[in-house]
Amino acid sequence: MKTKNDSAAPLVGFIGAGNMARSLAGGLVRNGWAPARLLLSDPQAAQRQAVEQALGLSVLADNSEVARRAEILVLAVKPQALSAVARELAAAVQQTRPLVISIAAGVRGADIEHWLGGDLAVVRVMPNTPALIGSGASGLHANARVTEAQRDQAESILRAVGVTVWVEDEQLIDVVTALSGSGPAYFFLVMEALEAAAIKAGLDPSQARLLTLETAVGASKMALEGGDEPAQLRQRVTSPGGTTEAALKVMEEAGLRRIFDAAIAAATRRACELGDLLGKNS
């Protein structure tokens, strides 16, 4: 798809100029997308000013104006507000019929399409907060009206802030939510617990913090760049009778795997419940 300073590139409009919209727009600019082909809207003057100062992009107060001009429309508003916002945009969207990309967590594609007047190409996305620093992991689902070219467009936008995976069954977006959407908090909890344990064992807090964070970064880089399965990497650093084996034995006996099974199941159920609730209350 043409992007780099190309007047033929599709105009991408963002409804909402909060953190995630800013990260996506900023990622596109860094990847060579022509700033003139990006347009945002937000009712809050402070949000508009922040984006204009940080990225030098046009930010309007009128959502409908962005909807009338956009060829790709990114819905980046809070899930609870999406129904009202989408209904206000329906007339404009039905005229222009853009590709609609929603990054509103938990809101199902069929509800979004209904609020916008129906018969639209909709891609539902579950991003995560590391997208704010360009290290996101997003799951995407396309409805039956999304073409292959539109899939490429949606993927190009989300890949500006990290990696992407497609799921063909929309219900699996709830699993993506449980894994990568909520997942950063799981790792933060592990880091918090490791740091606290090291301090309790006698390390200086600043030492415990630095060693914990760098160990997490190093382990992630090895898993990403080495090509080996996590189980293989674990086995490689676990010498028989050594310190790592002693620690892992405690974790296994405490049921660490069962804890993660239960955690993912609970988060998946809650994501499904929130989807039901957001659709019902609209």
pLDDT tens across 209-239, in order? 999 999 999 999 999 998 899 999 999 999 9
Q: Name, in order, each residue with C-beta under 8 angstroms of 156's C-beta and a sequence gap of 6 or more.
A: 1, 3
Tokens coding 203: 């390390």
User: What average pLDDT does range 92-99 have in this prediction?
Assistant: 97
Report the percent of the chain where pLDDT is more than 90.
Answer: 94
pLDDT tier, 280 (very low <50, low <70, confident <90, very high otherwise): confident
User: What average pLDDT does range 84-107 have in this prediction?
Assistant: 97
5 has a pLDDT exceeding 90: no
Report helix, strand and coil shares of the chain as percent, to nearest 5. Answer: 60, 15, 25
3-state secondary structure of 9: coil
Entry pTM: 0.91
**What residue ranges define each of the domains in the chain, with the CATH number in brackets?**
12-170 (3.40.50.720), 183-269 (1.10.3730.10)
82 has a pLDDT exceeding 60: yes
Q: Quick one: pLDDT at residue 8?
A: 74
pLDDT tier, 7 (very low <50, low <70, confident <90, very high otherwise): low
1 has a pLDDT exceeding 80: no
208 has a pLDDT exceeding 60: yes
Tell me the residue type at 281.
N
Residues paired with 59 in a beta bridge: 40
Q: Quick one: pLDDT at residue 227?
A: 83
User: What average pLDDT does range 178-187 have in this prediction?
Assistant: 97
Q: What is the pLDDT of residues 103-157, one digit of tens each?
A: 999 999 999 999 999 999 999 999 999 999 999 999 999 999 999 999 999 999 9
What is the distance of C-alpha 277 from the center of its chain? 21
